[in-house]
């Protein structure tokens, strides 16, 4: 039904379009306010839906993304999240007590702050009356935080949401072995010396071997890099193509950084250290240098190397999301609408990183758009090989028919519109925080470069994926 | 070979890759029929030497040749691969390497016995060649049998299998180039353990000790019944101690000798039979059975469930009590978890497989079942009750299969509204280990029902024989007279241990007394009473009274901890149950001295078995002698070196068997009267079960 409606919208002449909207949404107080400026943009329709609240992102920020083990290494995750929240408060001047709900995404949890959203919000001076929860969905955790917020606003539960994400890979929980933990827990319960001694007698030296977390699938025990290498091989993506793509990402990121386009970055004064103002993982190299690296996962002949993979990153991001009428009532000039979104999932072994391929046609269909309508693509770059494999999959009728149950391919995104300000390969990828970066990059690019629609897409561990349409807010 | 000569002749070619275009198979061995067609050992020796020369040429190739292995690389295929300079294998479940020749009673005859010890070390080479076991690619890499592994790929722009082969080829080509450019060395870094072993192997004394040890072990396990393993040791030894020329010569000669042995003929016959019994000669069923329901979560029911869920069949396991059901579920879980411990499954795969199992106490979901297999207690009225209950809830197309070892299927089907859908599926315990499935059809069973039952059995990984209905079907019926003889022999005062050693030294994997304990004394009693009623005097011999008394004393065999032996958890060595002495003494009968030598005891057991088997063929219970051999070997442990009762008659001579039977007939009467078909074979020496 929706698609039929939107389709008619699309073919109507501009003048009657707004008249129709009026009739469909007569109760919306904001449509009048919106109508005037919107008419000035390109002739593309807006994705507003009847009987649905328009949801906007007022603004979003992130602290600089740093390679793990650098300036943030002595902090805790909630410190980073706090800094992002403070940056957001500073940027938007939002009164803390109007925030209805705070949601953060994170992947590797610090056990002391398992609800890191709450700890960070309290520390950042938000009202202790504002509830907060933490979500996790691997690399699309921040996306999940945002869309959870969208759900709260769309259903009328909330008007103002702060969504964000955080990851601190400099410190990860390394646990005692299960045997050691069991012994320690039993020791807790032991009352007499005899009981304790008998427990100690069961101690073996191998109890001390620690359990390390790995970026590996629980279901398949395969590390993500290994899977990416296999994926690249399955789609016959060459090492050189991967290196070239990685170089492109770094070069574009460098350019964007130099030109000051990464306006979502807010400085962070790290206690006891200098103020961090810039992402520090951007390092354009040369193809010759990159070609020298040995494969990191499938040795000795694989194609995924340290240079064409995203690196371990510390960072946090936060966004202020509101119902459009609320934002306008408060006098904000929103940056973008957050429109249709989808989550997808597929085989976690052989299609682990193909989320964007599955999610893109679905979200476009839902929004009634085609690839040609998209002006800014922001895809999460886990590995060069993963991005290029997704391009090939999106461009393959065979894959669409045999694995996605679609009649035709969706087509691969034009490179000139794709991750123009760098991506996760160069800017870094703090697992839980990347989603917000992608949305803000899309929103900021639409403002800067012109254009109406941005498409955000990402893959995630577990064989899951996500895509969302970001629509420029009329200037 | 022509292509290889071209490669060697051309200046343009600097290296080569050997790859199979057949997905899932590199080379699964040489053609056995080629050897079978040779009449004399000299011919075989020549054949072997040709192979040796071809592979030697390959080994000495100045241009590096890389074997790119995907799928089965067995026997001659492995000998080819190890002659190449480099080996790359895909790391998937289908890719296995091995030298299964010993299982056919022969040895690797194209240089394998000489190259393998050099490549993986003497102990590992012995292990491979003497067990014939398949080695997975990752293990092969650790052993040094392959140099590189290639991960199987998922879908890309082509089907996964196709792209994986392509990728394997790409990688192999890269390595072939690297080898010819001397960028990659074919020398492998050896681990510390490997270095130490190879050092130890350079000491003659250590080598001698190893030969001795291995030989002792082989003698103990084969009891001298299988010549191939000893010859393998001998050939390997010759190669190492006297140089490779002597080794190759010995390999080809011993290979030829082995191909002429009865044992090899028996084992190769079994191999062919097994291949036949892994096919569905009834065609594809109209509707593929995907949803299974099993009644009774006992040892058998749970075992059937285990081999079903791990093949992706959605399976309901129903029992009458929660405790019984829980025990069955635990059995399935343990079976899967043991595979996790052996690293054949991941814990995640285990969980996902286990989710195919639905344990319940009611008939919920039976409306979707395609096949119900009942494994309730062996009691006709109980079976009738569940059949009626089940027929009230299952859909029209659903098949009702009865897992029974002796109850005639037509009697079970008598109360059915749809007897064409009723069939017997006789599994063997433990279901996950025993390969055989005996399918029993009645006059009324439809062809489609049979096709469906065979399809399910094949999916469960079984070797299948399809037999006609009758008391004891085929397997139980053959076993019963032999068991009766076992009782008589025990009554005649032969110790259980002595009897066990007589049967195992004849080639049975389990001793006769132990077998009774394993099957369960109560089951044995049940069966011998039932079949005794059906067949009368011919199944007599020992007294069922012996079993009755054992049951009344609670000596049910392994399951109750006591039978002829005492079974204790964690104790390996078995002790004779001394309480049996009294029972045996009270039922003692005097032995007849002219038929009580060790050999006579062995033949009394075997000839009764064989005679009954031949009678089953005569009566049409069995469709083919092949199925008779497969059923006897895989279901009852008939000595594989004899190839099964029918092959045994062919190889040993029908006349000799009839003579033996006549001799015992003279002592004990009609129980030993040879059947007509056997007499026919004896009287016309050209008549063979296998031409």
Q: What is the pLDDT of residues A61-91, one digit of tens each?
A: 999 999 999 999 999 999 999 999 999 999 9
- The answer to whether the CB atoms of B156 and A399 lie below 8 A apart is yes
Final residue of a structural domain among B413, B435, B460: B460
Q: Is A215 on the interface with B (CB under 8 A)?
A: no
- The answer to whether the CB atoms of A236 and B157 lie below 8 A apart is yes
Q: Is B464 on the interface with A (CB under 8 A)?
A: no
Closest in B154, B346, B348 to A230, CB measured: B154
Instruction: Classify residue A29: in a domain, yes or no.
Output: no
Nearest 10 degrees: CA dihedral of B237, B243, B248, B249?
A: -90
Residues B241, B311, single domain; the answer is no
How high is the pLDDT of residue B295? Answer: 97
Q: Is B570 on the interface with A (CB under 8 A)?
A: no
**Range from A235-249, B8-22, B539-553 carrying the lowest mean pLDDT:** B8-22
Q: Encode pLDDT of A380-393 as tens digits.
A: 999 999 999 999 99
Taking CB atoms and an 8 Å cutoff, what residues of chain B touch A233?
A: 151, 153, 156, 163, 167
Q: Encode pLDDT of B490-508 as tens digits.
A: 999 999 999 999 999 999 9
Instruction: Classify residue B690: in a domain, yes or no.
Output: no
Instruction: Classify residue A284: in a domain, yes or no.
Output: yes
* Crossing angle of helices B625-636 and B645-652, rounded to 10°: 110
Residues B321, B211, single domain; the answer is no
Q: Is B175 on the interface with A (CB under 8 A)?
A: yes
- The answer to whether the CB atoms of A398 and B158 lie below 8 A apart is yes
Instruction: Classify residue A386: in a domain, yes or no.
Output: yes
Q: Encode pLDDT of A359-381 as tens digits.
A: 999 999 999 999 999 999 999 99
Percent of chain B whose pLDDT exceeds 70: 100
Instruction: Classify residue A252: in a domain, yes or no.
Output: yes
* CA–CA min distance A108, chain B (Å): 21
How high is the pLDDT of residue A475? Answer: 83
**DSSP state letters, A237-275:** --HHHHHHHHHHHHHHHHHHHHTT--TTB--EE-TTSPE
How far is residue A142's CA from residue A424's CA, in Å, rounded to a whole number? 14
Is A30 a residue whose pLDDT tops 50? no
A233, A403, A409, A461: best to mutate for the B interface, most B CBs within 10 A: A233
Instruction: Classify residue B409: in a domain, yes or no.
Output: yes
Higher pLDDT, A217 or A228: A228
Residues B227, B136, single domain; the answer is yes
Instruction: Classify residue B614: in a domain, yes or no.
Output: yes
Residues B435, B564, single domain; the answer is no
How high is the pLDDT of residue A69? Answer: 96
Count of the separate structural domains present in chain B: 3
Q: Which two tokens stand for residue B327?
A: 């025990």
Q: What is the CATH number of the domain that holds B424?
A: 3.40.50.720
Instruction: Classify residue B281: in a domain, yes or no.
Output: no
* CA–CA min distance A83, chain B (Å): 39
pLDDT band at B22 (very low <50, low <70, confident <90, very high): confident
Nearest 10 degrees: CA dihedral of B12, B15, B18, B23?
A: -80
Is B4 a residue whose pLDDT tops 90? no
Is A6 a residue whose pLDDT tops 60? no
Do A166 and A120 touch, CB atoms closer than 8 A?
A: yes
Q: Is A233 on the interface with B (CB under 8 A)?
A: yes
Q: Is A350 on the interface with B (CB under 8 A)?
A: yes
**SS3 of residue B555 by DSSP:** coil
Q: Is A220 on the interface with B (CB under 8 A)?
A: yes
Closest CA to B373 of B302, B475, B444: B302
Q: Which of the residues of B are catalytic?
A: 438
Instruction: Classify residue B319: in a domain, yes or no.
Output: yes
Q: Which structural domain range is residue B398 located in?
A: 291-460
Q: What is the CATH number of the domain that holds A87?
A: 3.40.47.10
- The answer to whether the CB atoms of A393 and B156 lie below 8 A apart is yes
- The answer to whether the CB atoms of B157 and A396 lie below 8 A apart is yes
Instruction: Classify residue B271: in a domain, yes or no.
Output: no
* CA–CA min distance A289, chain B (Å): 20
* A139 flagged as catalytic: yes
Q: Is A401 on the interface with B (CB under 8 A)?
A: no
pLDDT band at B613 (very low <50, low <70, confident <90, very high): very high
What's the whole-number mean pLDDT along residues A17-43?
A: 40
Q: Is A192 on the interface with B (CB under 8 A)?
A: no
- The answer to whether the CB atoms of A350 and B346 lie below 8 A apart is no
* CA–CA min distance B348, chain A (Å): 5
Residues B117, B177, single domain; the answer is yes
Is A8 a residue whose pLDDT tops 50? no
Assembly ipTM: 0.87
Taking CB atoms and an 8 Å cutoff, what residues of chain A touch B350?
A: none
What's the whole-number mean pLDDT along residues B110-130?
A: 94
Is B108 a residue whose pLDDT tops 90? yes
Q: What is the CATH number of the domain that holds B147?
A: 3.90.226.10
pLDDT band at B476 (very low <50, low <70, confident <90, very high): very high
* A29 flagged as catalytic: no
Instruction: Classify residue B216: in a domain, yes or no.
Output: yes
- The answer to whether the CB atoms of A233 and B167 lie below 8 A apart is yes
* CA–CA min distance B306, chain A (Å): 21
How high is the pLDDT of residue B1? Answer: 61
pLDDT band at B474 (very low <50, low <70, confident <90, very high): very high
Residues B496, B419, single domain; the answer is no
Residues B85, B28, single domain; the answer is yes
Which residues make Cβ contacts (< 8 Å) with residue A363, sequence separation at least 6?
A340, A341, A342, A455, A457, A467, A468, A469
What's the whole-number mean pLDDT along residues B606-611?
A: 97
By CA distance, what is B152's nearest residue in A? A230
Do A318 and A436 touch, CB atoms closer than 8 A?
A: yes
Q: Which structural domain range is residue A376 located in?
A: 53-170+245-470
Residues B305, B168, single domain; the answer is no
Instruction: Classify residue B691: in a domain, yes or no.
Output: no
What's the whole-number mean pLDDT along residues B418-446?
A: 96
Beta-carbon contacts below 8 Å between A and B: 57
Closest in B153, B157, B171 to A392, CB measured: B157
How high is the pLDDT of residue A20? Answer: 39
Q: Is A396 on the interface with B (CB under 8 A)?
A: yes
Q: Which two tokens stand for residue B547?
A: 């079993």
Which residues make Cβ contacts (< 8 Å) with residue A144, sequence separation at least 6?
A105, A135, A136, A137, A435, A466
Beta A464-472 vs A336-345: how paired, if at all? antiparallel
Residues B354, B480, single domain; the answer is no
**Range from A106-115, B26-35, B337-346 carrying the lowest mean pLDDT:** B26-35
Residues B23, B139, single domain; the answer is yes
pLDDT band at A18 (very low <50, low <70, confident <90, very high): very low
* CA–CA min distance B432, chain A (Å): 25
Taking CB atoms and an 8 Å cutoff, what residues of chain A touch B167?
A: 233-234
Do B129 and B111 touch, CB atoms closer than 8 A?
A: no
Q: Which two tokens stand for residue B622?
A: 């069995």
Catalytic residue from among A56, A135, A139, A266: A139
Which residues make Cβ contacts (< 8 Å) with residue B16, sequence separation at least 6?
B4, B7, B63, B64, B65, B66, B176
- The answer to whether the CB atoms of B167 and A389 lie below 8 A apart is no
Count of the separate structural domains present in chain A: 1
Q: Is B153 on the interface with A (CB under 8 A)?
A: yes
Place of tokens 């068997």: B657
- The answer to whether the CB atoms of B154 and A301 lie below 8 A apart is no
How far is residue A360's CA from residue A49's CA, in Å, rounded to a whole number? 20
How high is the pLDDT of residue A43? Answer: 56
How high is the pLDDT of residue A32? Answer: 39
pLDDT band at A7 (very low <50, low <70, confident <90, very high): very low
CB atoms closer than 10 angstroms to residue B433 = 10
- The answer to whether the CB atoms of B155 and A399 lie below 8 A apart is yes
Residues B436, B482, single domain; the answer is no
- What is the sign of the dihedral through the CA atoms of B27, B29, B31 and B33? negative
Q: Is A392 on the interface with B (CB under 8 A)?
A: yes
Instruction: Classify residue A6: in a domain, yes or no.
Output: no
Tell me the residues of chain A between 45 and 84 that have a Cβ less than 8 Å away from chain B. Answer: none
Q: Is A218 on the interface with B (CB under 8 A)?
A: yes
Residues B202, B318, single domain; the answer is no
Q: Encode pLDDT of B561-600 as tens digits.
A: 899 999 987 777 788 998 898 899 999 999 999 999 999 9
């Amino acid at each position: 039904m929706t698609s039929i409606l939107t389709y008619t919208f699309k073919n109507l002449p501009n003048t009657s379009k707004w008249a129709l909207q009026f009739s469909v949404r007569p109760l919306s107080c904001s449509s009048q306010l919106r109508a005037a400026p919107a008419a000035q943009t390109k002739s593309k329709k807006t994705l507003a839906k009847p009987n649905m609240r328009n949801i906007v992102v007022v603004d979003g920020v992130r602290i600089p993304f740093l390679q793990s083990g650098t300036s943030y290494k002595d902090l805790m995750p909630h410190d980073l999240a706090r800094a992002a929240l403070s940056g957001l408060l500073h940027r938007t001047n939002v009164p803390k007590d109007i925030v209805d709900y705070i949601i953060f995404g994170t992947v590797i949890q610090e056990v002391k702050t398992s609800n890191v959203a709450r700890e960070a919000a309290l520390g950042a001076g938000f009202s202790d009356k504002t509830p907060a929860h933490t979500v996790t969905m691997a690399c699309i955790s921040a996306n999940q935080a945002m869309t959870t917020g969208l759900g709260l606003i769309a259903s009328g539960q909330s008007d103002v949401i702060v969504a964000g994400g955080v990851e601190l890979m400099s410190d990860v929980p390394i646990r005692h072995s299960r045997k050691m933990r069991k012994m320690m827990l039993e020791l807790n319960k032991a009352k007499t010396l005899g009981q304790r001694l008998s427990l100690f007698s069961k101690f073996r030296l191998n109890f001390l071997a620690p359990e390390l977390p790995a970026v590996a699938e629980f279901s398949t025990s395969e590390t993500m890099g290994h899977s990416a290498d296999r994926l690249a091989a399955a789609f016959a993506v060459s090492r050189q193509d991967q290196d070239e793509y990685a170089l492109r990402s770094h070069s574009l990121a460098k350019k964007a950084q130099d030109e000051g386009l990464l306006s979502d970055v807010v400085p962070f004064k790290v206690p006891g250290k200098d103020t961090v103002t810039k992402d520090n993982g951007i390092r354009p190299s040369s193809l010759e240098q990159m070609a020298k690296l040995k494969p990191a996962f499938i040795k000795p002949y694989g194609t995924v190397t340290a240079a064409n993979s995203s690196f371990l990153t510390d960072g946090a991001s936060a966004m202020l999301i509101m119902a459009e009428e609320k934002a306008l009532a408060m006098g904000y000039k929103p940056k973008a609408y957050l429109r249709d979104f989808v989550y997808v999932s597929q085989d976690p072994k052989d299609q682990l990183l193909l989320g964007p391929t599955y999610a893109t046609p679905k979200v476009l269909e839902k929004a009634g758009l085609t690839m040609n309508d998209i002006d800014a693509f922001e895809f999460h770059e886990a590995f060069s090989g993963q991005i290029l494999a997704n391009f090939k999959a999106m461009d393959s009728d065979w894959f669409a028919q045999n694995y996605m149950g679609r009649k035709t391919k969706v087509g691969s995104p034009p490179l000139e519109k794709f991750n123009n300000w760098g991506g996760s390969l160069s800017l870094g990828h703090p697992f839980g925080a990347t989603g917000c970066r992608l949305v803000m990059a899309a929103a900021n690019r639409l403002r800067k470069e012109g254009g109406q629609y941005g498409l955000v897409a990402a893959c995630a561990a577990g064989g899951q994926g996500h895509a969302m349409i970001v629509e420029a807010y009329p200037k | 070979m022509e292509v290889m000569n071209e490669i060697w002749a051309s200046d343009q070619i600097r290296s080569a890759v050997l790859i199979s275009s057949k997905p899932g198979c590199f080379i699964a061995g040489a053609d056995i029929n080629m050897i079978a067609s040779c009449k004399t050992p000299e011919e075989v020796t020549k054949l072997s030497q040709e192979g040796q020369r071809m592979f030697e040429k390959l080994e000495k190739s100045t241009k590096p040749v890389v074997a790119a292995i995907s799928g089965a690389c067995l026997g001659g295929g492995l000998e080819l691969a190890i002659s190449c300079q480099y080996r790359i294998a895909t790391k998937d479940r289908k890719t296995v390497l091995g030298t299964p020749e010993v299982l056919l009673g022969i040895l690797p005859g194209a240089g394998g016995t000489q190259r393998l010890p050099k490549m993986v070390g003497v102990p590992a080479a012995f292990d491979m060649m003497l067990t014939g076991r398949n080695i997975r690619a990752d293990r092969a890499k650790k052993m040094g049998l392959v140099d590189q592994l290639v991960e199987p790929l998922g879908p890309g722009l082509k089907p996964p299998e196709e792209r994986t082969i392509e990728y394997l080829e790409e990688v192999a080509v890269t390595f072939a180039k690297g080898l010819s450019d001397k960028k990659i060395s074919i020398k492998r870094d050896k681990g510390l353990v490997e270095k130490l072993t190879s050092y130890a192997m350079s000491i003659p004394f250590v080598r001698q000790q190893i030969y001795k040890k291995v030989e002792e072990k082989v003698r103990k396990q084969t009891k001298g019944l299988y010549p191939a393993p000893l010859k393998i040791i001998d050939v390997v030894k010759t190669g190492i101690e006297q140089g490779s020329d002597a080794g190759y010569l010995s390999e080809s000669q011993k290979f030829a000798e082995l191909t002429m042995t009865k044992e090899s003929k028996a084992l190769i016959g079994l191999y062919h039979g097994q291949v036949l019994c892994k096919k569905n000669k009834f065609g594809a069923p109209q509707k593929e059975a995907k949803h299974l329901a099993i009644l009774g979560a006992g040892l058998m029911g749970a075992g059937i469930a285990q081999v079903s869920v791990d093949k992706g069949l959605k399976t309901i396991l129903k029992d009458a009590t929660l405790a019984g059901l829980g025990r069955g579920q635990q059995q399935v879980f343990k079976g899967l978890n043991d595979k996790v411990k052996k690293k054949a499954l991941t814990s995640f795969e285990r969980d996902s497989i286990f989710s195919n199992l639905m344990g319940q106490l009611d008939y919920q979901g039976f409306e979707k079942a395609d096949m119900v297999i009942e494994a309730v207690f062996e009691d006709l009225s109980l079976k009738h009750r569940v059949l009626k209950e089940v027929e009230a809830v299952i859909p029209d197309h659903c098949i009702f299969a009865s897992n029974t070892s002796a109850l005639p299927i037509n009697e079970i089907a008598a109360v059915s509204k749809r007897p064409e859908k009723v069939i017997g599926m006789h599994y063997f315990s433990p279901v996950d280990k025993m390969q055989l499935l005996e399918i029993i059809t009645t006059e009324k069973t439809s062809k489609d029902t049979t096709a469906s039952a065979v399809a399910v059995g094949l999916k469960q990984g079984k070797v299948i024989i399809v037999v006609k209905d009758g008391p004891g079907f085929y397997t139980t019926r053959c076993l019963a007279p032999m068991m009766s003889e076992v009782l008589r022999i025990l009554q005649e005062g032969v110790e259980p241990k002595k009897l066990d050693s007589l049967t195992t030294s004849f080639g049975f994997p389990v001793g006769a007394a132990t077998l009774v304990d394993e099957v369960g004394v109560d089951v044995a009693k049940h069966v011998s009473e039932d079949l005794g009623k059906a067949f009368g005097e011919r199944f007599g011999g020992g007294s069922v009274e012996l079993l009755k008394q054992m049951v009344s004393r609670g000596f049910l065999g392994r399951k109750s901890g006591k039978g002829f032996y005492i079974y204790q958890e964690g104790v390996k060595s078995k002790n004779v149950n001394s309480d049996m002495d009294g029972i045996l003494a009270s039922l003692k009968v005097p032995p007849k001295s002219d038929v009580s030598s060790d050999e006579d005891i062995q033949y009394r057991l075997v000839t009764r078995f064989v005679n009954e088997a031949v009678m089953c063929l005569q009566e049409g219970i069995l469709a083919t002698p092949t199925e008779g051999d497969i059923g006897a070997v895989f279901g009852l442990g008939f000595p594989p070196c004899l190839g099964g009762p029918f092959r045994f008659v062919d190889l040993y001579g029908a006349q000799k068997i009839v003579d033996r039977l006549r001799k015992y007939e003279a002592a004990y009467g009609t129980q030993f009267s040879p059947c007509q078909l056997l007499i026919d074979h004896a009287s016309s020496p050209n008549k063979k079960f296998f031409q």
